Structure 1
């Protein structure tokens, strides 16, 4: 880390200003006051510390002031149940759309396998890891690699089965006059999505599918456009907690996925040149 650079798990004032209004208010009961609730901002820093480092919850350093691992886990769960991470992601994508940073001329879709060490819902025998338990991250990005939606499935699910669900998972993106945008003009995918049934379904919602054909030689030229989703997976799995699935509960891993997508969008928005 460069000298003077802020630690990635420290919540900046600008990011906190985006997140704080989305958090549910928990009133303190005067008849059962108990111990004072730890500040949400500190707990969020603890959640980000686990997301970035991959450290087990029970090993969260107490001296950093983030609270216990169980406190951070509960807040992550509760905030996910309240839809905080999804709304955060949608608001950041809308802001990127408002400044013209999204390219809707094409989108790219792909899946990536991760090992699931403890099993749980949305896991299955991996087809690429000797049938060990695993999960898949399915991602759709716009032309610059900005994540629009991400889904979690078992490691035995074929990528093509998530073709249409990923398209449907893209929320209405506001930020400009007129109707919210949801659909790209074209959608790029590799040979794993080569199926005429799904091509018809994609065309039915007004999107032109551009998919490599099985049995043809490599060098179709689609890689010129598809590399952005690989880059986005690299950014997503830069968060150590997402390289291996340690959570038995799928909603907790989903929460980490959504939060990581939001952080990626936040960094892209923050690094845009001043207009």
Structure 2
């Protein structure tokens, strides 16, 4: 983490980037009143709440600020657009250090229930039509958050986003093609072609054979590739579902 008084919660350099983005404090025209808590302390308290996920009322006393003060300042800074501009500044800094990887992008969302409705909220397709919202996150190849948005729960975020960004193209990724599945497939080959076919009485002989197998694979690595196109895979899945799904029949009247 960072250094200084709040270095245990605020990363190095983040406060220096955020300070010039904060709106000036409003002065009481009649003067007097209680001295405001300094912005750096409030900023650290807000970061603590956002990172830890604790409730505002559970703010630790070490910040020496009431939850009302911290939450009020959070709302003022939010309305002033501080967090969006801070995010943009951090991204520009990371991009200048070649730490943003745009070779791939990942777009995902999470549904949250909005009991009192409001804007933006809509009928949630995953919560029996109850009012809800979607939190959308677009990240780079390393998982770095690029954009965060909020919309009604019934928004088709993928189609909408792709419509606004035509330079991005969708690639069909079959289930089971993640890197962990590739690792499992490699161990399956090792088991089928070496372990099950051989006889290894001492453990040392088994270890030696496995090491020899690994060395041989490294000399001529063969990546796993999908040979079926997406349409053929989807057709096979549809045929399978047709076979395993029982036909719908109407029940006799009176039963």
Where does structure 2 lack aligned partners over 5 or more consecutive residues? Answer: 180-255
Instruction: Specify the SS of the correspondent of 1:34.
Output: coil
* 1:210 alignment partner, one of 170, 185, 208: 170
RMSD: 3.0
Rate the CA distance shift 1:134–1:34 in 2: closer, same or farther, 3 A: same
1:209 deviates by 0.8
Rate the CA distance shift 1:106–1:70 in 2: closer, same or farther, 3 A: same
Structure-1 residue corresponding to 2:208: none
1:111 deviates by 2.0
**TM-score in terms of structure 1 length:** 0.54
5 Å-filtered alignment, 1:72-151, equals: 72-151=70-149
1:156-194 Cα offsets, whole Å, 9 max, x none, are: 222235415xxxxxxxxxxxxxxxxxxxxxxxxxxxxxx
Q: Distance in 1 between matches of 2:116 and 2:169?
A: 37
Q: Distance in 2 between matches of 1:99 and 1:26?
A: 33
Which of these two proteins has the greater Rg computed from alpha carbons? Answer: 2
Residues 104 and 141, structure 2, Cα contact 8 Å, conserved in 1: yes
Q: Distance in 1 between matches of 2:68 and 2:53?
A: 15
Structure-1 residue corresponding to 2:155: 157
Residues 107 and 142, structure 1, Cα contact 8 Å, conserved in 2: yes
> Which deviates more from structure 2 when the two are superposed, residues 154-163 or residues 94-103?
154-163
Structure with the bigger RCO (C-alpha within 8 Å, sep 6+) is 1
Rate the CA distance shift 1:8–1:126 in 2: closer, same or farther, 3 A: farther
1:90 deviates by 0.8
Q: Distance in 2 between matches of 1:22 and 1:46?
A: 17
